[in-house]
Structures are given as C-alpha cells and as structure tokens.
Chains A and B, each alone.
Chain A
Amino acid sequence: MYRQLTGPDPLGRGAAAESPRYAALRPRTESADRVADSVCPYCAVGCGQRVFVRDEKVVQIEGDPDSPISRGRLCPKGSASLQLVTGPQRQEKVRYRAPYATEWTDLDLETAMDMVVDRVLDARERGWQERDEQGNRLRRTMGLASLGGATLDNEENFLIKKLFTALGAIQIENQARI
C-alpha cells in the first residue's frame, strides 16, 4: 500500500506488488545454454517451435516468432509439448511381453533388435508368394505388415519403405489412409 501510494504503480498491478522472490525469478528461456529450431509434432499446420536447452535437458518449448506460418503462436497442444518431451509417461527402456505372459519384462536393446531380425525373416519366409495362380510374378511376402509414419520424419519414412520393399513386404500403411 505504501509502495502504491509513493511509487509509480498506484494500481498495485506491477512494481508495487512485486515480492523480492518474484523480482529475482528469471524466465527459463533466459538461462538456456542453447536454442534449437523445431516444428510442432502434432497437427499439420507446422507451427515453428524454439526448444530451450540447459545442461543437456529441454527446459522450455515456445512458439517461434519468425515463422511465417505461426508467427510465434502455439495452440494448447503445441504449448504442452514440453510435457510431451519431458513427462514421466516417456518410456526409456525396451519392454518385452512373451507369449501368454501376464506382465512385461526387460530386454536389452541389442538383444531385442536381434530378436526382431529373426522374427522378420521368419514371418517373411512363411508369408512368401513367388507367383500368383496365373503364374505372374509377385515376389512378395504377406507375412509382415506395418502401420504408422504420419508423425515420423520424411527421412524415416523413406528408409521404412525402402527396406520393406526390398524385403518384399507390401502391407506398409500409415495414417494417411485413415
């Protein structure tokens, strides 16, 4: 009240109401070690994001004012992407559920990769079709399928399609058909 009456803030909405603790607070963005240019991972508007990093951790994600698409704005989803990236829901370990098991178990990443390689080769073999009934060449496998890709990078989708095509797997689909 005293500060309101004597200072430059008679309405008590600024300096007069500021506590020493508040005055000492700094935005997370200010103390960041670096900023990475990014793009919102949700819808296809493609809003620009700036990712603030401190001590190799993401500390804040904000809209990029330079973007001609979004001019700094983000919707609730884009604004919540710090939680998407740093939240406790993020899994960090490979998990494995054996046939008929009632719970997950842990698995080492490299072992899991080798197991997937075995299974891909087996499913490919069992679903292989060399020719159709008329004798036309098919050279493909129906034993394998894949769904996904609409939130993945173009470079990732490129390798996915390339590898599966070479394997003869054709049932490769994504959200674009859904």
Chain B
Amino acid sequence: MGSNMAEAHPVGFQWVIEAKARGARVIHIDPRFTRTSALADTYVPLRAGSDIAFLGGVINHVLSNDLDFREYVAAFTNASFLVREGFEDTEDLDGLFGGYDAETGTYERDCWQYEGADQEREEPEGASPDSPSGDDDSEMDKERTSPMGSGAAGAPLHGATNVATDPTLQHPRCVFQILKRHFARYTPEMVERICGTPREKFQAVCEAWASNSNRERTSALVYSVGWTQHSVGAQYIRAGAIVQLLLGNIGRPGGGVFALRGHASIQGSTDVPTLFNLLPGYLPMPTAGSHETLTDYLDDLRSPTQKGYWTGADAYLVSLLKEYFGDNATAENDYGYAWLPKIDGDHGTYRTVMDMVDGGKVFGYFLLGQNPAVGSAHGRLQRLGMANLDWVVVRDLAMIESATFWKDSPEIETGEISPQTCRTEVFFFPAASHVEKEGTFTQTQRMLQWREKAVEPTGDQRSELWFFYHLGRKLRERLAGSTDPRDEPVQKLDWSYRVDGSGEWPEPSAEDVLRRINGYRTRTGEPVDSYLELEADGSTACGCWIYSGVYADGVNQAARRKPHDAQGPYDRQWGWTWPANRRVLYNRCSADLDGKPWSERKKLVWWDADEGRWTGDDVPDFPATTPPRYEPPPDAVGPEALRGDDAFIMQADGKAWLFAPHGLLDGPMPTHYEPHESPVSNALYGQQGNPTRKVYGRTDNPSNPAPPELHREVFPFVLTAARLTEHHTAGGMSRQLPYLAELQPELTVEVSPELARIRGLTHLGTAHVVTSRAAVQARVMVTDRMSPLWIDGQVVHQIWMPYHWGGTGLVSGDVVNDLLGVVADSNVFIQESKVATCDVRPGPRPRGAALTAMLAQTRARAGVTVETGTRIATADDVPHVTHTEDDTAGGTDDGSTDDGSTGNSAGEQS
C-alpha cells in the first residue's frame, strides 16, 4: 500500500517476484493500477487518502473475528495495559479524542496515559500552570517537536513498571478492548463507502492477510511516501503497524513493515540527520526552556524508572558531544552541552521558505543536491522565497532549476521575478559524483555500503566533505581571535579530521569521519565495537551511537563485499546494518514465550538453554543472557528491567504500542480523517480532517475548499502524483541524461475514459490541471489504469501525474508540485502531497498575465479566501476556529486582483 514498488524500487521488487514464484501471494492496494499491480496476484483499488479507513477495516475484521495472534499480542504488545479512567475516544466526541483545545488546534494529552503511569506532566520550564495565558502552553505544544524528537525511544514514560494490566484482555479500559471499540465502525460497508473499494475485494484482502499470519506463516507490509505524505501520515504508518502486530508479523522472518525510501542515502540522512529537530542517532535537538541544562535534557529524554536501552541516552549524547568538541568537552562544562543551539517550534523546510518569502528573517540558503524549485510542494513559494534572499549556494552535478530560478522560472513569464529586479546572489559549486568520492550510503534496510573512489573529480568539482571541511576550517580561522561567546562552539570544535594529500585544500578522509561516527576511546583512540561500550563519563566519543560497530575492530565493516553466493541467507558479511549488524529488528518476537521459534519454518533467533544465551541466524535483538521467562526485580531499571518477553527493547515499557499513550500529537490511535482537500465529507464523524494538522493559512498558500465548506465542485477531482522508473525525483539526475530523457520524454496526466468524456479530453491531446495555486500543462493519457470510484453515493474521479519535470534539461515540462499547497502532519511536519483536489480542462494552459487572471477567477468562483481550509476543527460541540497567520485574516477574496507583478508573493490575492 502507498507504494508502486515495481516502478519506484524496481530492483528491490525482484525479491517480491521471487517470493511470488515460491508461492507467496502479492496484493497491491493503490488508487491506480500500476506496474506493481500488473505483477501482483490481486489488485485492489482505493481512493487516495483513505488508507486508514481500509486498514481500520482490517483491524476490525481481525478483532471482531478473534483472528489476532493472541499469544504474541498478549506477550509483546501493550494490549493488556489499562488506560486511565476518563479517556474519551473519537466515538464519544464526533471524531475528536479527549483533551482537544479548538483555539490552538492541539491536544492536552495526559488523558491518554496508562493507569498507574506517573500522573505528573512535565511542563516546559517557565510555563507555570497558573500563568495568565493558559493557551501559551498548548500553543507551544503544537509547535513542540517532542514526538519526533524522542526518536528511537518512542517517548519517556514515568512509572512504566507500575502500569495496571489485565492479562485476560477483558477489562473495558484495557488497550485491546479500547482498540476493538475504536475500530468497530470500520465495517466492510464503511470501508466501501469511504475508500470506494468493493466489499468482496476488501474482504478477500482481510481473509488472505489474516490466514497467512500465524506460527507457520508471516505477511510483509510494504509502504513508501504514498503513506507518509499526508496530513495524517504518521497515523497511516501506525495503522499498518497495528495490523502487523495483531497478526504477529513484526520481528519475524518474512514479516515486518517495510518503508521503501526514495534516495540513495535518505535513510542515512535521517540517522545522521540534516534535520532541524534531531541530532545524530535520533537524539532530539535541545528545546529552549525545557532543556536548559544537560540534566534537564536527559531527564526529559528518559525517565530514571523506565526500561530498555534508551536509558543509555546519556552515554549516547555525552559521546556525541565528545566527538563534536573533543578535549574541550569536559565533565565540568557538561561536555559543552550549552554550546548547542535550542529549537522552540516548527523550523521545518516549509516554515523556513515562508520566512524567506516574508523577508528579513532568512538571508542565506544552502542547497546540497536538492532542487526545491521542482521537488518541493508549492514550487512557486519555493522560487519566490529564493528570489527574496541575499544569497543562495547551490551544490549540484548539473545546472538545476533552483540555481537558475532568477532567469528562467515560470515566474519570469508572469512577471513576478525578473533578473533585473532579483537581488539574490547565486553561487553554483559543481559537485563530485558518487564515483569521484568515497563514503557510505545507508540504503532502505538500514544497510551502510561503502563506495570506493574510482576517479578524481574534474575542475572545480568537489565533494560535500571537502566543501564543509574547508568551510569549517576557514570559519574557524576567521573566528579564532574572537572573544564573543557566541563564537565559542566554533572555536571549540574538534575539527581534526585526517586529510589525504597536502597543501591548503586537501580532501578530508571519509574513512576517518566514519571511524569517528563509529566511536572510539578518547584516551587511546581505539575504536569501540558497539554502542554498549559507550560511556557517559567522557571516556568515549561517538558521532552516531546507532552506527557504533560500523568500524568495529578498526575495520571498515561497511566495505565488506563477500559475494552473496558465498555466505548464509542473511548475508551478514555484505555491508553493515545498524544496529549491531542486525537484519531484523525486534527479532526476539520470532520466538515464543519459552524462547523457542514459533515454528521450524519461521525460526530466526531462539534461546539456547545450554549456553544460557540467545542465538540464531540473525544477531539477537535482546539482552544476550536474559532468559525468555525472566522476571526482573521490582527496582531494576534500563536493560536490566526488561522482562523475558519485553521484546521492544527501546520502548520505555518494553512493549509494542497498539495504543500510544504518549508521543503522538494527533491521537493515541489512528482515525480516518479526510485529506485537507477532499471532495467528500468524512463518513465517520463530523470531524472532517486531522484536527491538529498544520495549515499555514496565508494568502500565498490558498487551499481548495473541502466539506463542510462550499464550492468544492470547482475542484471536483482527486489529484495524486508519483514517480516513474526512468526519472528521479526533481529530475536533476535524470532529465539531463539522453537515455532516460528518451524513455520518458514528456509530462503526462492519466485520466479514466469516463473522465476524459466528461471533460472532453483526448488521448495524447493537451490538457491542464488546475488548483487554487497553479495550472500545469501535460499530455493526456486516457487509460483504464485510472478508474472512477463510487464513494458514499457519488462518483469520484482521480487523476495521476508523475512529478519529475521542470524548465531545464533535455526534456522539460511544467512543475507538478506547483499544484500543491502546503499543509502538514503535526507530528513530523511532512507535507500532504499525495492527495489534493483539482480540476482538469482540455487544451493548453493560459500563460503570463492570463494565467494569473485565470487562477484569480477560479479562486473567486470557489470562494477561496485566506480562511479556506483553516477551520481544522469541524466536530460538534467545539468552536470552528480559523487558523491563519496573515493580517488579512477575516477578509474575503473578491477575486478582483489579478496583478501578479508585485515582485513577491504579497498581493497575489487581496
């Protein structure tokens, strides 16, 4: 679901086909019949943006027919845990959970806690309960990044060992029963009404999934950004995980939830993050106020009374600070903790771009192998943001749209940008390619693979490693004599990486950086072999604790390349997989309560009673010598507090969470909400969309109306977009190559024969797709791959577009991302770009001033104002407050403004 694997991850898909050849049944659930569907046993259609309803239906099927893997569920999940009295479900509140504050669009989440867990809530320092403006706290919550920030740990949990449980799973307040009630309404009829999936097809999926999940068999679930890029994205993944947990498919061979990621090292760039809210290894960036000192930070990260390996977070953080600041990080100065900058809200890429547009806040921008002018949602906003900066540094292999926006962006035609008035200084630095530098990528299964350097780069081409090493070196030279305390962290950095070569500008050694990411003993420089060796006393340094072991024994383990036909089934000597070269996470679950494999067929790790330790085909994901039936003493904490069945060793309570008592901002359980832009009302509740989504209500970010707003007939169709095999994301690495350009020469829009008839579109003719943001022109592809769906008594048409085109390259086309506005999931700030509403019209789009006028007229016809889409609460009995950030909020758009030549976005709508 949410993945077109055959198209987007083609070589990975060979394994699905191989499994099929060996008897596995492949089911593809998707809004469009794709290359994956063509190779699957069964294709099941659904409406884009309705996956939680579908998965909720599967959960309901499993629970109401007692099809869950009961022994597994009782042992390894929190099904038996009791939730506090007073917990209110969406069933009670028309689609909201208890604790909702309509003013701020956030939840007060204490009422979702377990019974017996510490009642105390950690307030950010300075926010006293009796502060005159009680809203401040909630507003801050909305902007707080704690759910993402707690990363690997889920969330801290106080008093985890005191939680009340009912092992029989019968108590009305136990998670199992709450889950059952919550999903009871997701019947096959309801699934059909919401998703448009014919009842029999849905039933067949439920039966196949459940019957293939037991001691002898496992089912795997694959998703990609078709799940993440939604305003309820985190809950899509949660829903999939709940199904897999109920059916006992996690931590077992052939099971799991596979996130197929889209770029060579996108997994790596989350692990070793270039993300605002994270430090390496999913340690959160410190938050202003609540994380003033190292102790505050660590106390907030993990409770001294919780279980599991996250209690070692102090060692992970201190070791990171030792890597960063070397000898300057001492016990006396809290290892330089105070030198870390603090975050206090949404500093995500879209917020930053809006700040660029507004001016005076952001002055300079680095683009490192990224092309937001084409690749980010709301391309126009991206380009206008860049055109309003002092400077942009672009590092890429080839000239991309984000480097040339000042002379050839679509806004040149509309008069919004012109070279003569654009003040942005642009530096283009040619980058070294993947064969001209060495280093590791982390692929989608967490495997690091080292690349050798084949040749030297040419001319000014350089690696990012070179660029940032020397930028740092130069900055340190410039600030060396400064007495300003703000320059201290730069002065105190340990920047002593080995270099290969001589002179002023040698290439730094990637292997030395990897060695320091792995970690070493500060006294001897000797590499550590695993994160278990890290200490919180400054005796170890480690750049990313989860990568600890990649340089075990002083050997670059990521460079291992023992051929697959010369080693066992888990290929443990090819590359290195974090953590600890373990292939299957939580693999303790592959054994039963006594530590025996659930079946011979599905064995992976097991308890060897003679040796007194866990063993098996994979590296066991459990304390090596903790017996399967172990009961820890009541005062134990950390890894020692894990019971023999606490298989989820990073969780504060050792269990997989069917119900998340903490850590998510939009609910402890997934609920179907309609997308931000939807042609239909939520069939389940008065609450239409995610009540906590981030809407960025601004005149330059208009939304198409969705129920209960009027005039949705102006944008009657559902738009979804995705990849083609032959191109890569924003096209910077594909539209320039003759082979790939020839294979996919032109932007297309796929429509069903029915929709083509309705709108007068002809196959291979030209059409343009229109939203309140933009119009995009494409060749029409009339195809049965898109079929109209019958949704709650009405026909809903969906259209599909690939999104790889932009203005430069051997093949060019309009930017599909221009069609999208920015609205984001509140947990992770990922934009909803997999679903929006639109219109599609025959013929080419208008250009220049005529385009601006047409868009203004269309918005006027749809009654679009800055408030459209910003009433995020629509349930009964709560105020339906607008959430806008413009001064113009409350005004209406009369559509009379068609002057787009103001040089920036202000005045785009009046």
* Co-complex (A, B): yes
**A119 on the interface (CB 8 Å rule)?**
yes
By a CB distance below 8 angstroms, the chain A residues around B734 are 77, 80
Q: Does B370 count as interface, using CB distance less than 8 angstroms? A: yes
Contacts of B264 in A (CB 8 A): 39-44, 46, 150-151
B341–A170 touching, CB < 8 Å? yes
Looking at chain B, what size class is its interface with the partner chain? 35 or more
**Interface residue? A19 (CB, 8 A):** no
Given A127-B362, A153-B441, A153-B510: A171 touches B276 (CB 8 Å cut-off)? yes
| Chain B residue contacts of A58, Cβ below 8 A | 435, 454-455
User: At the interface, yes or no: B725 with Cβ under 8 Å from chain A?
Assistant: yes
Complex contact B262–A44 (CB within 8 A) = yes
Cβ of A15 under 8 Å from chain B: no
B364 touches A145 (CB 8 A): yes
A63 to B291, CA, bound (A): 48
A6 within 8 A of B: no
Q: Nearest chain B CB to A42's CB is how many angstroms away?
A: 5
- With A44-B443, A83-B737 already in contact, the answer to whether A149 and B369 are too (CB < 8 A) is yes
Identify whether the interface residues of A are mostly helix, strand, loop, or mixed: mixed
Asked if A155 and B434 sit within 8 Å, CB to CB, the answer is no
Q: Does A176 contact B (CB under 8 A)?
A: yes
Please report the C-alpha to C-alpha distance between residue A137 and residue B342 in the assembled complex, in whole angstroms. Answer: 7
Within 8 A of A (CB), among B2-52: 8-12, 14
CB contact under 8 A between A150 and B469, given known A145-B365, A156-B463, A168-B489: no
Is residue B733 within 8 Å, beta carbon to beta carbon, of the partner chain? yes
- Interface locus among B201-209, B265-273, B595-603, B695-703: B265-273
* B728 with A154: CB separation less than 8 A: no
A115 to B726, CA, bound (A): 38
Q: Which of A62-100 contact B (CB under 8 A)?
A: 64-71, 73-81, 83-85, 87, 89-100
Could you tell me if B437 and A153 are in contact, using CB atoms closer than 8 angstroms?
yes
- Which residues of chain A have C-beta atoms less than 8 A from B563's C-beta? 65-66
- Is A163 positioned at the interface, with any CB of B under 8 Å from its CB? yes
Write the nearest CB–CB distance from B306 to chain A, whole angstroms: 26
Q: Is A4 interfacial (CB-CB < 8 Å)? A: no
Shortest Cβ distance from residue B446 to the other chain A in the assembled complex, whole angstroms: 10
CB distance from B821 to the nearest CB of A (A): 15
Given contacts A73-B14, A178-B830, contact A173 B261 (CB under 8 A): no
CB distance from A17 to the nearest CB of B (A): 27
Question: Counting CB contacts under 8 A, is B564 at the interface?
Answer: yes
Question: Contact: B370 with A175, CB < 8 Å?
Answer: yes
Cα of A176 to Cα of B349 in the assembled complex, Å: 11
Given A71-B564, A91-B397, are A134 and B289 neighbors across the interface (CB < 8 Å)? yes
A175 touches B272 (CB 8 A): no
Instruction: Tell whether B184 is near chain A: CB-to-CB under 8 Å.
Output: no
Instruction: Indicate which residue in A53, A135, A158 contacts B455 across the interface (CB closer than 8 Å).
Output: A53
Residues of A near B441 (CB, < 8 A) are 39, 41, 46, 153-154
Contacting residues, chain B, for A96 (C-beta < 8 A): 425-428
B343, CB-defined interface residue at 8 Å: yes
Per-residue CB contact flags for chain A residues 103-139 toward chain B (1 = under 8 Å, else 0) read 1100101101111110111110011101010111111
A residues within 8 A CB of B510?
A: 153, 155-156
Taking CB atoms and an 8 Å cut-off, the chain A residues in 140-167 that contact chain B are 140-163, 165-167
Q: Is the CB–CB distance between A158 and B369 below 8 Å?
A: no
Q: Which residue of chain A has the shortest Cβ distance to B574 in the bound complex?
A: A68
Residues of B within 8 A of A107 (CB): 427
Q: Tally the A-B contacts, defined by beta carbons under 8 Å.
A: 479
A137 touches B343 (CB 8 A): no
The smallest beta-carbon distance between B862 and chain A, in angstroms, is 27
A34: nearest chain-B partner, CB-CB: B454
Contact B543–A158 (Cβ < 8 Å)? yes
**Known contacts A98-B425, A149-B274, A154-B272; A159 and B455 CB within 8 A of each other:** no
Q: Is the CB of A53 within 8 A of B514?
A: no
Name the residue on A nearest B723 (C-beta). Answer: A43
A146→B467 CA distance, assembly (Å): 14
- Per the bound structure, the CA–CA distance linking A64 and B450 in Å amounts to 14
Give the complex CA separation of A76 and B736 in angstroms: 14
B472→A159 contact, CB < 8 A: yes
Residue among B268, B469, B517, B743 with max Cβ neighbours from chain A (10 Å): B268
From known contacts A44-B264, A176-B270, infer whether A167 and B475 are also in contact, taking CB-CB under 8 Å. Answer: yes
Q: How far is the CA of A40 from the CA of B458 in the complex (A)?
A: 20
The answer to whether A177 and B830 touch (CB under 8 A), given A90-B398, A170-B285, is: yes
B341-385 Cβ-contact flags toward A at 8 Å (1 or 0): 111100111001001100001111111111010011100000000
B341 partner residues in chain A, CB cutoff 8 A:
138-141, 165, 168-170
Interface residue? B453 (CB, 8 A)? yes
By the criterion CB–CB under 8 Å, are A136 and B443 in contact? no
Once the chains bind, are B564 and A90 in contact (CB under 8 Å)? no
Among A41, A142, A173: residue with most chain B CB under 10 A: A173
A77 to B743, CA, bound (A): 11
Contact: A171 with B352, CB < 8 Å?
Answer: yes
Q: A151: shortest Cβ distance to chain B, in Å?
A: 5
Are A92 and B275 in contact, CB atoms less than 8 angstroms apart?
no
Bound together, the chains give a CA A39 to CA B479 distance in angstroms of 38
CA A130 – CA B275 in complex, angstroms?
Answer: 21
Closest to B453 in A: A36
Q: Which residues of A contact B513 (CB under 8 A)?
A: 155, 158-159
Does B904 interact with chain A (Cβ within 8 Å)? no
Cβ-defined contact, B398 with A175, below 8 A: no
A99 and B424: CB pair below 8 A?
yes
Known contacts A87-B737, A146-B274, A148-B274; A92/B448 CB under 8 A? no
B266 partner residues in chain A, CB cutoff 8 A: 44, 150, 174-176
Q: Are B740 and A80 in contact (CB under 8 A)?
A: yes
The residues of A that contact B793 with a CB separation of less than 8 Å are none
B630 at the binding interface (Cβ < 8 Å): no
Task: Please name 11 further chain A to chain B contacts, defined as beta carbons within 8 Å, in addition to the given A99-B422, A174-B273, sorted by A numbering.
Answer: A36-B435, A36-B454, A43-B9, A45-B11, A78-B11, A91-B398, A136-B344, A149-B368, A153-B439, A159-B465, A159-B468
Q: Which are the 4 A-B pairs with shortest beta-carbon distances?
A: A46-B443, A153-B439, A148-B368, A92-B459
A-B contact pairs, 29 of them (CB 8 A): A37-B559, A41-B264, A41-B433, A44-B265, A66-B562, A67-B561, A67-B574, A71-B14, A85-B433, A85-B435, A90-B461, A94-B430, A110-B505, A123-B391, A127-B362, A137-B338, A140-B341, A157-B268, A157-B269, A158-B513, A158-B517, A159-B472, A159-B508, A165-B324, A168-B486, A173-B274, A173-B349, A174-B274, A178-B349
